Structure 1
Amino acid sequence: MCTISLNIRGLGQLGKINWLKRICNKEKPTILGLQETKCEHTQDNIIESFLGNSDFKFVQKDSVGASGGIITIWDCNTFIFDHAIEGEFFLVICGSWVGYDSKITFINVYGPHSSSKKQRLWSELSSLINSLTSPFIIFGDFNEVRKASERMNCVFNQQWATNFNNFINNFGLIDIPLGGKKFTRICIKRMKFSKIDRFLISDDILKLWPNISSKTLDRDLSDHCPILLRNTYFNSGPKPIRVFNTLLYLKDADSIITRAWSIPMTGNRPDCILRNKLKNVKLELKKHSAQLDNLDTQILDHLKNINEWEALAETRPLSESEKNKWLEDKFSHLDKEKNKANMLKQKSRIKWALEGDENSKYFHNFIKNVIVKIIYTVYLLMELGLKIPTS
């Protein structure tokens, strides 16, 4: 699999076709996404001129005059096209990949500049993603960065970056690190640099292409670098299994974990068996995560009941059943408060991990070693049939 994304800044300008031809001859992409084509109608012969054959098909979102324009091109021998969706700021192709049973969706984005339009983009993409049942890749020029270090000699807007990060985090998207150049766009006249081109993938993409990586290609006739995504082997260590600790406080969590762990696993490698067992545990816990929804509302409800029982106890003696209900509300209230505190604590750790720290490499290595030892100990205890202490 090889996907290339490029803000071409005008497909019809002198030399752009030959530049694309050189890129395609060298990298041989199966999906090619272009932004800011500035073309109202692109002919088949123009696409064939830089791809070299007619085995490629394409869909396009026309520019408005000399502004905008998106084209997504695919190799018909590899990608079986099903249908396309056109949004205000993106172009989608849905289909299947030869050799895989799963459907797959590619979303080619050309982000707007204004704040209100950016919000519309995140809203439209959110609605689109909620409607998808297949793995997907979002790529293109988002016209937005995630942090201040992704701009140089440019104005950084924290609120806009926060909105972008919230969109990414809400859907658990993976921002594939770009190798090569630090910035993907440069304004030579004012020496402004920014990283506004990227690939965002759903977690399911890693099941199709586990060795996915991306890098920038040489900037030539555009102020943007082409960015390339391909499935190549790169040993970055085991992929982490993430789960909120509060899921471990679910009612009957012990039985849920035991049932998930006892599902038979096949395979010869113990590390793969352990990984699949942990994945089963995570999925089973997430199925029951509805118990943690509206945690604040549940806390207020229990607190209201406690106050009512205490007010009633001041007027007359409570019966045994009333005392038990009072205590039940009190214990439930404390449990919910504990769950909320643990969730906030873990979210603060996540924020720290995203924003980084000067000594992050040291701390990350230390934490990773501790977690590996804990997982290995848990695995041995469960294999030996011993009960794992919960406190």
Structure 2
Amino acid sequence: MRHVIGREEADFVFIQETKSKELSDARCFVIWGDNNVGWIHNKGDEGSGSLLSMWPKDVFEYESHVMGTGYIAVYGQHLKTSYRCVVVNVYSSCSLRGKKTLWEDISKVRQSSHVLAWCICGDFNAVRSSNERKGITDRGEQKSEVNGFNSFIDSNFLLDLPLVGKKFTWFKPDGTAKSRIDRVLVTEDWLLLWPKSKQYVLRREVSDHCALVVKSVEKDWGPKPCRTIDAWLLERGFNRMVKDK
């Protein structure tokens, strides 16, 4: 599964479940398309649950990283704006215990950092409300999962970016079940830097997950059009004023 963060060009690419135990520069150059790429690989458990984070070296200057079970947090500087930020690639366990451990680990990493602009993106294997799952039998843990996930988001002062496109991000192959278990969470300081950030859900390709693309796009549509209120046309002298002007 691939998630992308950026504007017109990709600033970050996240791949979850790469199935790769080992990666090399040569392999990452092929995946990216050239050698202008930095990368960090979390090999997971014998390739299961592995993560790959990639970025163009002329856009993002790598400083350090922290990784653990189910995540990679990359610290660095966005060169165009000179702002430091942290981008976290997430692939959560399916078990409630594993999810809680992941939330606790990321919370500790975040609380120990002085960097304010954070983006946490990936497959959380959790939903924020029952409406984000369809066709899936309640396993008895759903309320605890929802409460725990929302508590993680609130306690870390994270914001869920506006969603564009599909309402769900994971689909069972036969179409009988679907859910929104992939998402992008950011801090308020991230939005101060990129206030137009939105998460776009793309169509599924080879995976049962949809890829997410995060964009912060500001378009100049030119001069604003002239607008009138129809009631003005009923005012005495309005037509003459328009002609005079």
TM interval, shorter chain, is: 0.7 to 0.9
After TM superposition, give the deviation of residue 139 of structure 1 in Å.
0.3
The equivalences for 1:1-391 within 5 A come to: 5=3, 28-134=9-115, 135-156=117-138, 157-189=142-174, 191-233=176-218
More helix by share: 1
Find the aligned partners of 1:116 and 1:201 in 2 and give their Cα distance.
24
Higher relative contact order (CA 8 A, sep 6+): 2
User: For the pair shown, which has the larger CA radius of gyration, 1 or 2?
Assistant: 1
Alignment-mate amino acid for residue 201 of structure 2: T
Alignment-mate amino acid for residue 26 of structure 2: N
Does the 8 Å contact 2:128/2:149 carry over to 1?
yes
String of CA shifts for 1:88-138, please: whole Å, max 9, x gaps.
210111000113233100011101111111111111111111012211100
More strand by share: 2
Find the aligned partners of 1:175 and 1:49 in 2 and give their Cα distance.
33
- Secondary structure at the counterpart of residue 30 of structure 1: strand
Which residue in 2 is equivalent to 1:372? none
TM-score if structure 2 supplies the norm length?
0.82
Find the aligned partners of 1:108 and 1:52 in 2 and give their Cα distance.
21
Find the aligned partners of 2:99 and 2:80 in 1 and give their Cα distance.
37
Find the aligned partners of 1:124 and 1:155 in 2 and give their Cα distance.
29
How many residues are treated as equivalent by the alignment? Answer: 212
Alignment-mate amino acid for residue 209 of structure 1: W
RMSD (Å), alpha carbons: 1.8
Does the 8 Å contact 2:36/2:57 carry over to 1?
yes
Find the aligned partners of 1:88 and 1:65 in 2 and give their Cα distance.
12
String of CA shifts for 1:260-301, please: whole Å, max 9, x gaps.
xxxxxxxxxxxxxxxxxxxxxxxxxxxxxxxxxxxxxxxxxx
Structure 1 residues 66, 190: closer, same or farther in 2, change over 3 A?
farther
- Secondary structure at the counterpart of residue 103 of structure 2: helix
Q: Could you list the runs of 5+ residues in structure 1 that have no partner in the other structure?
A: 7-23, 235-391
Find the aligned partners of 1:215 and 1:190 in 2 and give their Cα distance.
21
Find the aligned partners of 2:77 and 2:41 in 1 and give their Cα distance.
19
Does the 8 Å contact 1:91/1:108 carry over to 2?
yes
Q: Percent identity?
A: 28
Does the 8 Å contact 1:212/1:233 carry over to 2?
no
Q: Could you list the runs of 5+ residues in structure 2 that have no partner in the other structure?
A: 220-245
Does the 8 Å contact 2:44/2:70 carry over to 1?
no
TM-score if structure 1 supplies the norm length?
0.52
Find the aligned partners of 1:43 and 1:132 in 2 and give their Cα distance.
29
Runs of 4 or more, structure 1, over 6 Å off, are: none
Find the aligned partners of 1:155 and 1:57 in 2 and give their Cα distance.
41
